[in-house]
Every structure is written in C-alpha cells, then in structure tokens.
C-alpha cells in the first residue's frame, strides 16, 4: 500500500471518530504557539509560529474495559525562511479486564507531509501489547510487554518483563528488563539490544508531585557508530500552588559510550514551563529550555536555547 493511501486511512479514522465522538465522551482543544531558538555552533537563529489541536474520544466497552482514541496535529511556519512543517499523531488504545488482571493494546502512528523537526515527510506506525497481573496496590505487580515500531528503513521489535509496586499512596516505583531486535533494510543488517528501565513517582504534600525516570541500553551491532551502551536519567518536579497556576521543571542527562571506538559522550536538556488558567476553557503557557551536548569536550560543547509560549482553548 502506498504511503499516501496509508495517510488517507489514518485521516479517515480521525474523521469518523470525530463525528461519532461529538456529543459523547470526547474533548477537543485548539491552540496557537510561538517558538524561538538560538544555537551557538554554528551561530544560528530560528523560530516558528503555528497552530495545533488535540481530539480525545473515550468509551466504555461494556463492563469489560474501555476504548480511547486520541489525535494530535500541528502545523507551523518559520518566519525567517517561510519553511513549513506539520506533525500528526494518532493512537487507538484499549484496555480489557481479565479477571483481576488487565490487558492493554495500543496501535498508533506518527506522520508528516511536509517534514517535521529536521526530518523529511514520513509515516511511522507503532504498537504495544501489555498484560499486567494485579495482586493489590501495595503488592508487587508483574507485567509483560511487547512493543514495536517501523519506519521506511527500520523495524524494531522488543519485549520487557517488569514489576510495579506502590507501598503507599505517595510513592510508586517500577522496574523492567528486556531486549529486542532492530532490522535496518537500507544497511542490510540486524542489531540486538538489551535494556533496563526504572521509574519512581511520588507526591510531597498537596502541591508538589515528582518523578524520576531512567534507562540503560546495550546494543550489539556491526556498525561501530551504534554498538555500545547508552542511557538517560531525567527528573520532573511539578508544583501546583493554586487551581490556576502550575510550574514544571525537568532536567535530563543523557549519555553514550561506543565500545568499538572507546568514545564517550554526554549532554543535558533542562527545561521549565509555567501554565496559567485564564478561565475554565482558556489557558496559556510559556517556558525556556537549554540543551548542552558533548560536555566532556569544552572546546566542542554545542548548546542551544529554546523559548516557547502559547495559548490553548478547550471546546
């Protein structure tokens, strides 16, 4: 099936779900935003202004579970060179209760017609199937997950076995280990990888929530630019001092070590954002982010600053 026809099918699903969802359990928001970025290596300025929107439809599947469909779209233009970009993400998600346990299936895709975030036009589907054993909130609850995604030149399949536990209302943690296989059609090669992910979520008082998320991956590959270890560690703190104000701070550290060349690299991405509710259906947001790469080589440590602001209206 041609790529164009696949996109028509995705858009058709959104249109049918939108018509069916009006007046049901659905929500819609539309918004406008602006973004400015400066990069030091080489020195460059860029910016964009655009529109985005989100549609969300929810429905119970009798007493057996629920179904959820979301679609997010964005279109923007760079005033400095009139370049346009667009982005469309669609996810269909279902959950079924199997006795005391549950099973989740998610099928979705990301696509762009004119290109987005430095990538040319593309369509990339993804999927995930998870089965979780529910033994009680304070007990250790195991799960198994299969997931995958595809691009025009790359197909990935992976599986994880993990556990989740919430010893108290204010604290929850999870850890999962697994592996998978990546096939690169353009290079005619296959990579194997093993991964470990972990997270901790918590509440501090009535106004502060936080989480820590980490991952580590080892990749075996014939390509020496990919074989080795990589990972990331991020934290997020969200402060909600009132019903109209929310402030979020997110630092992320990422690293990579190539075993064949003994090359090490790391970087930081630090962002902050404030959301203000103007009314019940209107809110605005603004925030900066700083990205720093190759921290171990000060002579070659490119950095960039992004400033984003916008306003959204729920319908």
Q: How confident is the model at residue 186 (pLDDT cuts 50, 70, 90)?
A: confident
Residue 251 lies in a domain: no
- 105: in domain: yes
Question: Checking phi first, is residue 262 left (phi over 0); if not, alpha (psi -120 to 50) or beta?
Answer: left
pLDDT of 144 higher than 50: yes
Task: Answer yes or no: is 101 within a domain.
Answer: yes
Dist. CA 302–CA 297, nearest whole Å: 10
Q: Dump strand ranges (E) for 101-188.
A: 101-112, 122-132, 141-150, 154-168, 171-184
Residue percentage of the chain with pLDDT more than 70? 89
Is 102 contained in some domain? yes
Q: Looking at 109-123, 198-212, 250-264, 282-296, which range is the least confident one?
A: 282-296
Let me know if residue 167 belongs to a domain.
Answer: no
What is the domain count for the chain? 1
Say what percent of the chain tops pLDDT 90.
66
Instruction: Tell me the H-state helices in the chain.
Output: 3-21
In terms of Cα–Cα distance, which of 305, 281, 303, 280 is closest to 292? 303
Which tens digit of pLDDT belongs to each residue from 275-285? Answer: 999 998 999 99
In this structure, is residue 198 part of a structural domain?
no
Which pLDDT belongs to residue 12? 45
In a domain, 214, yes or no: no
Please give the structure tokens belonging to residue 294: 């190759």
The confidence score (pLDDT) of residue 315 equals 85
d(Cα 81, Cα 184) in Å, to the nearest integer?
34
pTM: 0.82
pLDDT for the residue numbered 17: 43
pLDDT value at residue 300: 60
pLDDT at 1: 33
Element (H, E) at 29: strand 26-40
Q: How far is CA 268 from CA 25, 132, 150, 232, 294, in A?
A: 40, 34, 28, 10, 9
pLDDT tens across 120-139, in order? 899 999 999 999 999 887 89
What residue numbers bound the domain in which 10 lies?
1-30+49-132
Query: Could you identify the residue written with the tokens 């979301």?
Result: 70
DSSP 238-287: EEEEETTEEEEEEEEEEEEEETTTTEEEEEEEEEEEEEEESSSSEEEEEE
Residues 6 or more apart whose Cβ sits within 8 Å of residue 132: 101, 102, 103, 104, 141, 142, 143, 164
Relative to beta strand 245-258, strand 263-277 is antiparallel
Per residue in 54-92, pLDDT (tens digit) is 999 999 988 899 999 999 999 999 887 788 999 999 999
**Residues 199-211: what's their mean pLDDT?**
93
SS3 217: strand
* Residue 303, number of CB atoms within 10 A of its CB: 16
Residue 287 belongs to a domain: no
């Amino acid at each position: 099936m041609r790529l164009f026809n696949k996109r028509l099918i995705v858009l058709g699903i959104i249109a049918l779900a939108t018509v069916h969802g009006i007046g049901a359990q659905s929500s819609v928001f539309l918004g406008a935003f602006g973004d400015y970025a400066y990069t030091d290596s080489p020195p460059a300025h860029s910016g964009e202004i655009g529109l985005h929107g989100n549609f969300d439809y929810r429905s119970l599947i009798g007493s057996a579970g629920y179904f959820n469909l979301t679609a997010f779209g964005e279109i923007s233009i760079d005033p400095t060179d009139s370049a346009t970009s667009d982005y469309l993400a669609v996810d269909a998600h279902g959950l079924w209760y199997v006795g005391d346990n549950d099973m989740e299936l998610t099928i979705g895709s990301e696509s762009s017609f004119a290109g987005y975030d430095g990538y040319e036009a593309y369509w990339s589907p993804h999927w995930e199937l998870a089965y979780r054993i529910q033994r009680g909130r304070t007990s250790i609850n195991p799960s198994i997950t299969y997931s995958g995604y595809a691009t025009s030149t790359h197909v990935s399949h992976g599986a994880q076995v993990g556990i989740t536990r919430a010893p108290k209302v204010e604290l929850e943690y999870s850890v999962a280990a697994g592996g998978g296989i990546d096939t690169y059609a353009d290079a005619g090669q296959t990579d194997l990888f093993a991964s470990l992910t972990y997270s901790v979520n918590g509440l501090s008082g009535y106004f502060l929530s936080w989480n820590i998320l980490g991952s580590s991956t080892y990749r075996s590959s014939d390509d020496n630019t990919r074989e080795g270890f990589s990972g990331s560690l991020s934290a997020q703190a969200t402060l909600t001092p009132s019903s109209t104000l929310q402030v979020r701070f997110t630092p992320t550290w990422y690293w990579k070590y190539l075993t064949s060349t003994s090359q090490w690299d790391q970087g930081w991405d630090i962002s902050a954002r404030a959301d203000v509710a103007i009314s019940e259906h209107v809110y605005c947001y603004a925030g900066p982010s700083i990205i720093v790469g190759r921290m171990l080589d000060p002579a070659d440590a490119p950095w960039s600053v992004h400033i984003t602001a916008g306003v959204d209206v729920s319908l």
